[in-house]
Amino acid sequence: MGNGEELIGLAILAYFVLFYRYVRKYPKGPLPLPLIGNLYHLKAETLHEQLHEIGKQYDGCFTVFLPRPVVIFTTFETIKESMVTNGDNFAGKAQVPPESLLHKVRMNGSASLAPCLGATSVGSLLIDYLEAALLSVKNICVQRMFSHGYLIWFAVVDVQHPQTGISVSDGDVWKEQRKVAIRILGQLGLGKNLMEEKINRSMDEMFRQLKDNNDGVTPFDVSLTLQLCIGNIMNETLFGYHFEYTNTERFEYFNGCVSKHLKSIKVLQDNFYVLLVQAWPWTKNLPFIGEWGFKELHQNAATYHDFIEEEVKAVADKYHKDHEPTNFVEAYLVEMEKNPALDLINLHAIAVDFWLAGMETTSTALRWSLLQLMKHPAEQERIRAELISVVGNSSRIDMSHRTNLPYFVASINELLRVANMVSFVFVHRCTEDTVIDGKLIPADTFVYPQLYSVLKDDPIFENPTEYRPSRFLEDDGRTANKKAAERMIAFGMGRRQCAGEALARMELFLVLGTLLLNYRFIPTEPIDLNPVFGTVLVPRPFKCRVEPL
Ligand code: HEM
């Protein structure tokens, strides 16, 4: 063997030794391989199930390399110890793609324009390579400005991804924006019952659509109806208007952007390249990996940022300061006058956050609920009977009925528990060395509280695969079972618990309750409760009879 081969052999050996020394820094988990980590045995469609099974061998705290190390918590105890007891240390966010793409890019400093000669594709390729070289110098980016004949003009600009909004920011920006956003949601909803009115207006639109398009006999697909209803609540809340079901072009365009984003960050399955860019951000500059793992997402993010900016501008242009704010944008604009930490860029980011975090989750929860209640028709009737006993002949319920509807409220908890729809998303970052369950989590490690495992298998949920709303009630059938409710963590736990939980619960209560008062849902095909894996675990498409009562 020549010297060169010996050197290569030694380098490989040294890499192996160093890699496994690095692996030992993290809580123990299944054996990772150099470069690919644990990707060799994890499968996309069942990732949540596999993590759950692995968690049983490591007392609910272990590491998988994707290929970047991610510490997973799968028990109520480890999730509580990290997210609540040590909440400040676990409130960090990744700050690398794909999450960081949610922050709108800011262009800074002067831009210099230069022509690049060549047919479009050759010119584009040259610019790609120039961009790769400049990005490695940090924060410099090449923007294609326009092309003219064989000339492409490009600008070299300084770009920054400053932290904005709630869901992907951390530190002071996150604390302030989250606090203000929750306060505004409270003002809109609780003080003046404005939220209930907004939800009712969206439901009016939904009922118009059902009346015109559903004959009560032909199998009907409720998914777009529910999406439009929940999307309209979000739009009313943010911008003060809703889309009519006969004119949904703009809604569908934006919804398409959101779905595309959620689909493209679906790790392992559709987009393995995203993981590579997350593990080694410089790979976003490489051909192919950069294209699919970064640029496509980047371009899509730009489209919904533009959409949101137009919407905010339309509200801001019409709003008169002397009027009481009636929607989120107006209320934020008023706060902006008093609070220097608030600005338009953060307002745009929060609007994007609410759409991304609030729309697919809530409308999917409703679809799962209808499927479960068709699978258990006696449960559907029991809820309906309780609703009728409280509201009589009325076709609507309101929030004041809540205390008299204990079985329905318990059912919503159980429906969310069995829907168990949040998959591998909401990764946190541990910001300081912290010991959880006796294991050291080094600072800057990504961590993932797998809520799925607790909802599916916590010992408090006896026979967890059974749909049984009564587990959320004490023996008297009225009082809430606090121990079970504490572990119904579909909205997360601790500092970063869902910022829209109150709104989501209100939507589920009013929309599901009103639907059940007015319609009976009857299956017309075998009910399949196996989810399709994605950012949110969604039910397979289904149709059913929606019989008016
Ligand atoms: C059934 C419906 C919903 C479910 C199951 C749900 C669940 C969650 C979960 C599990 C988290 C992450 C917690 C974590 O990082 O540990 C979260 C965060 C978040 N949710 Fe929701 N959510 C729902 C509806 C909504 C709605 C309607 C909104 C908008 C008003 C919303 C806005 C947010 C925001 C802004 C965050 C980020 C919070 C932060 O990082 O501080 N969600 N949600």
Strands 446-449 and 69-73: parallel
d(CA 428, CA 403): 35
For the chain, the domains span 102-161+174-428+466-548
Q: Which ligand 1 atom is nearest residue 421's CA?
A: 5
Strand positions, DSSP E, 328-450: 428-429, 434-436, 439-441, 446-449
> What pLDDT does residue 246 have?
87
C-alpha span between 541 and 223 (Å, rounded):
8
From residue 332, alpha-carbon distances to 111, 197, 240, 342 in Å are 32, 20, 13, 8
The answer on pLDDT for 256 being more than 90 is no
Can you tell me the mean pLDDT for 459-472?
Answer: 96
Judged against a pLDDT cut of 70, whether residue 135 lies above it is answered with: no
Q: Ligand 1, atom 34: nearest CA belongs to which residue? A: 499
Give the position, in ligand 1's atom list, of the atom nearest the Cα of 364: 1
Ranked by mean pLDDT, which of 1-5, 217-221, 357-361 comes out on top? 217-221
CA 377/CA 515 separation, integer angstroms: 15
Q: What share of the chain is helix, strand, coil (3-state, %, to 5)?
A: 55, 15, 30
Q: Classify domain 102-161+174-428+466-548 at the CATH topology level.
A: Cytochrome p450 (1.10.630)
Q: How far apart are CA 451 and CA 120, in angstroms?
A: 49
Residues of the chain above pLDDT 90, percent = 59
CA 488 to chain centre: 18
Report the nearest atom of ligand 1 relative to the CA of 174: 41
- Best probe residue, ligand 1, of 93, 239, 498 (max atoms within 8 Å of C-beta): 498
Q: Which segment of 129-133, 195-199, 286-290, 336-340 scores lowest on mean pLDDT? A: 129-133
Measured CA to CA, the distance from residue 30 to residue 167 in angstroms comes to: 30
Note the ipTM here.
Answer: 0.99
Describe the crossing of helices 223-239 and 296-318 by its angle, rounded to 10 degrees: 50
β-partners of residue 523 are 544
- In this structure, of 84-98, 252-266, 407-421, the range with the lowest mean pLDDT score is 252-266
CA of residue 35 to ligand 1 center, whole Å: 33
If you measure from the C-alpha of residue 501 to the centroid of ligand 1, how many angstroms do you get, rounded to a whole number? 7
Q: What SS3 state is found at 109?
A: strand
When mean pLDDT is compared across 144-153, 257-266, 340-349, the lowest value belongs to: 144-153
Q: Which atom of ligand 1 is nearest to the CA of 365?
A: 1
* pLDDT tens-place string over residues 74-131: 999 999 999 999 999 999 998 776 666 666 655 444 445 555 555 455 555 565 556 5
- Residue whose Cα lies nearest atom 6 of ligand 1: it is 491
Kindly give the number of the ligand 1 atom that is closest to the alpha carbon of 449. Answer: 16
Determine the atom of ligand 1 nearest the C-alpha atom of 494.
16
pLDDT for 54 equals 97
Give the Å distance between the CA of 426 and the centre of ligand 1: 9
Q: What is the pLDDT of residue 142?
A: 53
**At 339, is the secondary structure helix, strand, or coil?**
coil
Read off the pLDDT band of 323 (50, 70, 90): confident
Looking up tokens 């970047």 gives 68
Would the annotation count 430 as a binding residue? no
What angle do helix axes 328-338 and 223-239 make, rounded to 10 degrees?
30
Q: Residues near ligand 1 with C-beta < 6 Å?
A: 166-167, 178, 353-354, 357-358, 361-362, 365, 422, 426, 449, 451, 490-492, 496-500, 503-504
What is the number of other CB atoms lying within 10 angstroms of the CB of residue 107?
12
What pTM value is reported for the model? 0.87
The whole-number pLDDT of residue 268 equals: 46
**pLDDT higher at 423 or 49:** 49
CA of 503 to the centre of ligand 1 (A): 10
CA of residue 167 to ligand 1 center, whole Å: 8
* Phi, psi (rounded to 5 degrees) for 21: -70, -40
Sign for the pseudo-dihedral over CA of 373, 467, 401, 476? positive
Distance 12 CA to ligand 1 centre (A): 44
CA of 217 to the centre of ligand 1 (A): 36
The more confident residue out of 142 and 53 is 53
Ligand 1: residue whose CA is nearest its atom 32: 500
Q: Whose CA is nearest to atom 43 of ligand 1?
A: 498
Block residue for tokens 């820094």: 25
Cα 64 to ligand 1 centroid, rounded to whole Å: 24
364-412 pLDDT per residue, tens: 999 999 999 999 999 999 999 999 999 998 899 999 999 999 999 999 9
In this prediction, residue 188 has a pLDDT band, given cuts at 50, 70 and 90, of: confident
Q: Mean pLDDT over all residues of the chain? A: 86
